[in-house]
């Protein structure tokens, strides 16, 4: 595998700070491939996934501008778990193909592949040389998500309950980034990992 395709899988629970960590890796010089961003592009107005979503779920879940109505879909999949599987069957192959393309074309010493459900999605593990988990206390996660999104605590906790337990994420990690402190604390850890990944990617 060439140096530009040496891949670190970056994951963590909702509100753990994946975006802050991936932003710092990008500042250090890594290529960032973010599957959440890809998903938003696929479901934006004119996005490649919108016709299939419309066919599967009807017009009620498509906004007036032609994008996926994310709030309506979130409510639907929490009320009906089988609907989540229908949505994932549409999105996941498209996300996989686009993330593969971006990883292959990356012009950087290594790639950080940001996948919220990386450990749950077994195939992603096979694509990564290292798994880095961004971690913090669950109460901190809840507070951050409430502050960011305005969701009530019960809904945040429901989202967290649908994700892999914190202990399981940590058990799968090659590297843990503790994001319970301030941004400087996070940046110091990312900077140290960046130096380690540069060495591993060039070995």
Q: Which pLDDT tens digit goes with each residue over 20-52?
A: 999 999 999 999 999 999 999 999 999 999 999
Residues 163, 194 within the same domain:
yes
Residues 188, 122 within the same domain:
yes
Residues 182, 136 within the same domain:
yes
Does residue 87 lie within any of the structural domains?
yes
Q: Residues for the chain: how many in total?
A: 203
Does residue 203 lie within any of the structural domains?
no
Residue 112 has a pLDDT of 98
Is residue 108 left, alpha or beta, with left meaning phi > 0 and alpha meaning psi from -120 to 50? beta
Query: CA 95, 99, 100: angle at the middle one, nearest 5?
Result: 115
Boundaries of domain holding 36: 32-107
Centre a 10 Å sphere on the Cβ of residue 201 and count the other Cβ atoms it contains: 22
* Domain-terminating residue out of 41, 72, 107: 107
Please state the rounded mean pLDDT for residues 185-194.
98
Q: How confident is the model at residue 66 (pLDDT cuts 50, 70, 90)?
A: very high
Does pTM top 0.85 for this prediction? yes
Asked if 132 and 7 count as a contact pair (C-beta separation under 8 A), the reply is no
* Domain-terminating residue out of 107, 132, 155: 107
Does residue 139 lie within any of the structural domains?
yes
Residues 144, 193 within the same domain:
yes
Residue in the block written with tokens 């710092």? 24
Q: Which pLDDT tens digit goes with each residue over 76-107?
A: 887 888 888 899 999 999 999 999 999 999 99
Number of domains in the chain: 2
| CATH number of the domain bearing residue 128 | 3.40.50.300
| 91: nearest Cα among 143, 130, 39, 51 | 39
């Amino acid at each position: 595998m060439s140096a530009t395709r040496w891949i670190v899988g970056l994951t963590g629970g909702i509100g753990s700070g994946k975006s802050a960590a991936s932003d710092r890796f990008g500042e250090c010089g890594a290529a960032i491939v973010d599957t959440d961003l890809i998903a938003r592009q696929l479901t934006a107005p004119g996005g490649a996934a919108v016709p299939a979503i419309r066919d599967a779920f009807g017009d009620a879940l498509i906004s007036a501008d032609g994008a996926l109505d994310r709030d309506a879909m979130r409510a639907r999949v929490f009320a009906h778990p089988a609907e989540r599987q229908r949505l994932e069957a549409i999105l996941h192959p498209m996300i996989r193909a686009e993330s593969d393309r971006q990883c292959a074309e990356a012009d950087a010493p290594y790639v950080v592949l940001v996948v919220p459900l990386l450990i749950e999605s077994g195939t992603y593990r096979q694509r990564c040389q290292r798994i880095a988990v961004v971690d913090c206390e669950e109460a901190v996660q809840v507070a951050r998500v409430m502050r960011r999104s305005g969701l009530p605590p019960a809904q945040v906790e429901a989202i967290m309950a649908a994700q892999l337990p914190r202990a399981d994420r940590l058990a799968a990690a090659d590297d843990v980034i503790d994001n319970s402190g301030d941004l400087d604390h996070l940046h110091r850890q990312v900077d140290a990992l960046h130096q380690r990944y540069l060495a591993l990617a060039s070995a």
